[in-house]
Amino acid sequence: MFSVNAKLDQLAINALRCLAIDLVQAANSGHPGAPLGMAPAAYTLWDRFLRHNPRDPHWVNRDRFVLSAGHASALLYALLHLTGYDLSLDELRNFRQWGSKTPGHPERGLTPGVEATTGPLGQGFANAVGMAVAEKWLAARFNHPGHDIVDHFTYVMVSDGDLEEGVSYEAASLAGRWGLGKLICLYDCNGIQIEGSTHTNFPDDIGRRFQSMNWDVHGPVDGENVAAIADAIVAARGVAEHPSIVIVKSSIGYGSPLADCPACHGAPLGAENVAKTKEKLGQPATAAFFTPEEAAAHLRGAVERGAKEQARWQTRLDYYGKVFPDMAKRLLAQLRGELPAGWEAALSGGDGDGKPVATRVASGRALNALAKKIDFLIGGSADLAPSNNTEIKNEDFFADDKPWGRNIHFGVREHAMGAIANGLALHGGVVPYVGTFLTFADYMREPIRLAAMSGLRVIYVFTHDSIGLGEDGPTHQPIEQLLSLRAIPGLCVIRPADAGETAVAWRTALARENGPTALILTRQATPALDRRKLASAEQAARGGYVLWQSGEGRPDLILLASGSELAPALAAGERLAAEANVRVVSLPSWDLFDAQPADYRESVLPEAVRARVAVEAGRSLGWERYVGLDGAVAGIDRFGASAPAARLFEEFHVGAAQAAALGADLLKRRARKRAAAPRPPAQLDAAAGKPAGEG
């Protein structure tokens, strides 16, 4: 079935190389070195092994290919174009240009065939681990003897930089522990990076390092030797119990006058060097974007092969569907990301039982209720499950001998946990959640950012969300984390105040099919909010709502709060009610609230009401957005301290007393201003039904 014609192999490899350097040259920007060096290994994999259908990039049982070294994107685009994906030559000519499908680094969702957004080194490797977990998990759940309906490999290509990044070590360790036999890593070991030789900073013996983590190590093989690379991949595929790494010794910038020099890593070769490279590679020196017909025809063979592969699988699926009709339906729905009908009912009684409860505990309850309805909700914590309340009760932990387990022990590896969760979501068929303390969300910032950029449904359970965690002190007390998560576009951040809002937050997170959600939860119990007298927690779905108001009509003062500060804000409101008409607004999610229609936002925060106080146990920065320039914020703009929580709230002035004091002050200022203002015409007063001037 495959070509064993060495000449044709070389022709195709060189065609890929020349096309890749043409992309970079045309853009006058990009990375020619890695594509030139990696081309033989990538070609060997794609030509001999990768099961994919260029005409249906979403075929669910395709092998996954992740280019972790995303800077080598020109090679991936050349491969996608020449193997028949819907990526035209014009798109290649527009490499790195506005509106093209060929951005500087691969972006999932933009380019057909790109499985993951890569470029931040190390991420793609850990994504691939997540994909392999998803495959193994789905196979364990859905395959039956003679019915291997979920059955594909995950391949990832990494560079030196990918393996220098710590996340690759974290993820590799887990992959080894879990025995991900269908994960195969091709390591482009060229020993060169931007600053020069890796000799200066990378003494690791990669073979031994991976061996020590239960990986099967193949090679080193000569990066120009297709047969040797193919043999190594064959051997890797034959190892069912361990993931495999194939070490490919390559030459960065192969064929160019800059071969083995850092200079060819990230800058166009220049017209002269491009011509010389093509000459060396046996291609017409001056023809740009030219592919010899024989090479093009050979690479396009992927279309026919892919169609046949998929058709064969479809036949298997049809048979599977006859024998296991319900499972077939469920599998396909799951892979489409559909939640089972009526899943929301798991969370009935969203207003909670009115008892004080830590929102992390409420979250654990919500998760477990949801997990009963959604049996492909899977996840875990970075060794904090008992604290994060992330364990699904009565379910196994994922392991090489328990691949159906829905709980995952990530160990203390927040970074890999985030990136693996992305891989799970990218693969599909599961809905991942992961947990740690909010302050350690910083360890996983890059994967969170990539989840948001890629529109992945990943749910973050971040507990211990403020100084309220108490004695553990400032290292563990998040101050700037809430603000910094809110700064990530596309990440929905929700900080619920009680059990009711927590249930709504979980529901919202699951319903958000195309984006991640961070749930920000307390360690300490939050006082009960008597929802019989207050607005329903259901309204938290809108991000912000009027919880309570002392009087009718337009309020004099608005107190805003999220999470554990909502109850103190309410207490402050009740204290001030004797002097003014006070409104208390629960604002668990800026993102959700900002997405509401203007008239709803106006109904909650009337523009005319300028006396506003926000209370939140985190950086005050950003709350100006809601309290305006005339308002005040009770926040924390320094690091915390080690002491009992109650004392900390007192010392940091983020409780009811401070909210009431700030509110009273604003009311006084307002009264003074009003007394000093000239009387407006009487008819305007009457029309407003209120005293004119500020609210």
Q: Select from 94, 159, 466, 564 the one that contacts ligand TPP (CB under 6 A).
A: 159
- CB neighbour list of residue 308: distance below 8 Å, 6 or more residues apart: none
Q: Select from 27, 180, 233, 252 the one that contacts ligand TPP (CB under 6 A).
A: 252
Nearer to ligand TPP, 217 or 450 (CB): 450
Q: Which of 414, 446, 501, 616 is catalytic?
A: 414
- Which residue from 577, 589, 629 is spatially nearest to 607, judged by alpha carbons? 629
Q: Is 126 in the site for ligand TPP (CB under 6 A)?
A: no
Residue 158: CB minimum distance to ligand TPP, A: 8
Q: How far lies 223's CA from each of 13, 220, 248, in Å?
A: 12, 9, 5
Nearer to ligand TPP, 159 or 522 (CB): 159
Q: How far lies 116's CA from each of 112, 360, 559, 586, in Å?
A: 11, 31, 43, 37
Q: Is 435 in the site for ligand TPP (CB under 6 A)?
A: no
Q: Is 214 in the site for ligand TPP (CB under 6 A)?
A: no
Which one-letter amino acid corresponds to residue 25? Q
| DSSP-assigned beta bridge partners for residue 582 | 557
At residue 628, what are phi and psi to the nearest 5 degrees?
70, 180
Nearer to ligand TPP, 34 or 509 (CB): 34
Q: Is 154 in the site for ligand TPP (CB under 6 A)?
A: no
Q: Is 120 in the site for ligand TPP (CB under 6 A)?
A: yes
Radius of gyration (C-alpha) of the chain in whole angstroms = 29
- Please, what's the b/e burial string for 478-488 (b: 16 or more CB within 10 A of its CB; e: otherwise)? bbbbbbbbbeb
With contacts defined by CB under 6 A, name the span among 117-125, 339-347, 362-370, 493-501 that binds ligand TPP: 117-125
Residues in the chain: 695
Q: Which residue is nearest to ligand TPP (CB)?
A: 161
At residue 598, what are phi and psi to the nearest 5 degrees?
-55, -40
CA end-to-end distance (rounded Å), the chain = 78
Residue 614: CB minimum distance to ligand TPP, A: 35
- CB neighbour list of residue 118: distance below 8 Å, 6 or more residues apart: 66, 67, 68, 69, 70, 105, 106, 124, 127
Q: Is 190 in the site for ligand TPP (CB under 6 A)?
A: yes
With contacts defined by CB under 6 A, name the span among 189-197, 279-287, 348-356, 634-642 that binds ligand TPP: 189-197
Q: Is 157 in the site for ligand TPP (CB under 6 A)?
A: no
Q: Is 172 in the site for ligand TPP (CB under 6 A)?
A: no
Residue 513: CB minimum distance to ligand TPP, A: 28
Q: Is 121 in the site for ligand TPP (CB under 6 A)?
A: yes
Q: Is residue 580 within 8 Å of residue 557, measured between CB atoms?
A: yes
Residue 469 structure tokens = 């965690």
279 is catalytic: no
DSSP type of residue 346 = G
Residue 198: CB minimum distance to ligand TPP, A: 7
DSSP type of residue 402 = B
Residue 100: CB minimum distance to ligand TPP, A: 20
Residue 123: CB minimum distance to ligand TPP, A: 8
Contact characters 60-79, ligand TPP, x per CB under 6 A: ---------x-x--------
Residue 3 structure tokens = 């070509």
- CB neighbour list of residue 389: distance below 8 Å, 6 or more residues apart: 360, 361, 363, 364, 365, 367, 435, 461, 463
Q: Is 265 in the site for ligand TPP (CB under 6 A)?
A: yes
- The runs of H, that is alpha helices, within 143-193 are 160-164, 166-178
Looking at residues 5 to 34 of the shown chain, list those that interact with ligand TPP (rule: CB under 6 A): 33-34
Residue 71: CB minimum distance to ligand TPP, A: 5
The residues annotated as belonging to the active site are 414
Q: Give me the residues that bind ligand TPP (CB under 6 A), please.
A: 33-34, 69, 71, 119-121, 159-161, 165, 190, 192-194, 252, 265
